[in-house]
Structure 1
Amino acid sequence: MPRRVIQLLVGLVLYGTGCALTIEAGLGVDPWTVLAEGISIHTGIGIGWVTNLLGFLVLLLWIPLRQKPGIGTIANILLVGTSLQLALGVIPPISGIIGQFAVFALGLVLVAVASGLYIGAHFGPGPRDGLMTGMHARLGWPIWLCRLLVEATVLVIGWLLGGTVGIGTVLFAALIGPLVHLALPLLDTRPRALRASATAPAS
């Protein structure tokens, strides 16, 4: 248990830090951060604090979907945005296209490793992931369709509000899945036998 708790907390803090790096790179960010950035522009509230608020609002959407949050869900809402905001305050300005891509790549890898850490701790999904799985369970729609609809919606709203959409947004969408797929088996806290049974094909 102590290892899982530490892994969860470290993963969430690193996730926020990785998001901060992608923001500072200025090449475009993931859809939810685009939305947070757009809201931040119009309200003057820091992007990290907006991220926390969005997490709480998304959690409210779990109620009609009959989803139950775990410890990891609550910790996600409290820590990701907070660490993002703190990191933005210490990351120096990035100049030059090479520097931008290098910082973006570092942020992307950090987000992937962080995802493996907090998902592998098995304390419950983040609010945004839970929204998609809840839609899948209640509506019967495929997970990929739920994810596409939700993320496309927040991306468009965020872009209209002035959030940064660019090549980084495309790279994040294309690469985050494969990178998390590589990281998760290395950071999964379940016993090896349980992992094998979870991935075994149904007979």
Structure 2
Amino acid sequence: MTFLGAWRGTQLLIGLFLYGFALAMMIRATLGVAPWDVLSQGSSLQTGVPFGLMTNLVGVVVLLLWIPLRQRPGIGTVLNVLLVGPSAEVGLAVVGEPEALWARILLFSGGLLLLAVASGLYIGARLGPGPRDGLMTGLHERFGLPVWFVRTAIEGTVLLLGWLLGGSAGVGTVAFALLIGPLVNLTLPIFRVPERRSTPVPAPPARPVIESAP
């Protein structure tokens, strides 16, 4: 394994752990869940499917949307499913729920900033984004739209649909939907691992042409 490959793997794991920890911080702030969780909650209320299972089903539907966007899952996509949940549980175990409003706002803001950094880390490792982030990068690459615009449009649409289905949203949910796009737009270029360029093989020198005398 090359140094670059080892670094990409390490960056992926750090990003996924921080992603789950950031989710735990925002949950403990109790100012509103993320838009995708509002959608899962609303869909669960309408169908009777448990929230956890509905979250997985939403992820499957999002993966199906990758097909027309020509996105391919990678090891990062699989690890996203396996590691974000446990890391969120670690965060919930060590982060308490503050009582003061200012402390809740500070905790939510820190979680939002940390999630943007985590997104830049694990997406920038180029080992495969999570289902929802892959939808963002796929639309960005397919249509050439800015990352901040795509992410904000996705989060806003998901939030509205989830709210119409009966999901609960708070001021933190709206802040997440409006700010996560611009924040990821800042962090992704910082942490994106550059693609390795293959060194062109030099062409052999041309042999001189010796003309025969007439």
Output the TM-score relative to the length of structure 1. 0.73
Identity %: 54
Correspondence for 2:62:
58
Correspondence for 2:28:
24
Correspondence for 1:169:
173
**Larger CA Rg, structure 1 vs 2:** 2
Identify which of 112, 118, 121 aligns with 1:114.
Answer: 118
Pairwise CA distance, 1:85: 4.0
Q: Answer yes or no: is 1:130 the counterpart of 2:134.
A: yes
Alignment of structure 1 residues 53-202 onto 2, 5 Å: 53-63=57-67, 65-132=69-136, 134=138, 150-160=154-164, 162-190=166-194
Alignment of structure 1 residues 4-15 onto 2, 5 Å: 4-15=8-19
Pairwise CA distance, 1:13: 1.6
Please say if residues 41 and 51 of structure 2, whose CA atoms lie closer than 8 Å, have aligned partners that are also in contact. no
Please say if residues 52 and 78 of structure 1, whose CA atoms lie closer than 8 Å, have aligned partners that are also in contact. no
Pairwise CA distance, 1:163: 3.6
CA deviations 1:129-148 (Å, max 9, x no partner) are: 3334556777x695788656
Residue 158 of structure 2 aligns to a residue whose secondary structure is: helix
Q: Structure 1 residues 50, 14: CA separation in 2 closer, same or farther (over 3 Å shift)? A: farther
- Aligned AA (2:102): I
Gapped regions of structure 2 (runs ≥ 5): 198-214
The more displaced of 3-12 and 57-66 is 57-66
Q: Structure 1 residues 181, 155: CA separation in 2 closer, same or farther (over 3 Å shift)? A: closer
Partners of 1:105 and 1:52 lie apart in 2 by 27
- Aligned AA (1:80): V
Correspondence for 2:37:
33
Output the TM-score relative to the length of structure 2. 0.70
Correspondence for 1:198:
none
Give the total of aligned pairs: 190
- Aligned AA (1:19): L
CA deviations 1:15-63 (Å, max 9, x no partner) are: 12112211221212331132234457765555xx754553234213334
Q: Structure 1 residues 50, 6: CA separation in 2 closer, same or farther (over 3 Å shift)? A: farther
Please say if residues 115 and 180 of structure 1, whose CA atoms lie closer than 8 Å, have aligned partners that are also in contact. yes
Pairwise CA distance, 1:2: 1.1
Gapped regions of structure 1 (runs ≥ 5): 195-203
Please say if residues 52 and 80 of structure 1, whose CA atoms lie closer than 8 Å, have aligned partners that are also in contact. no
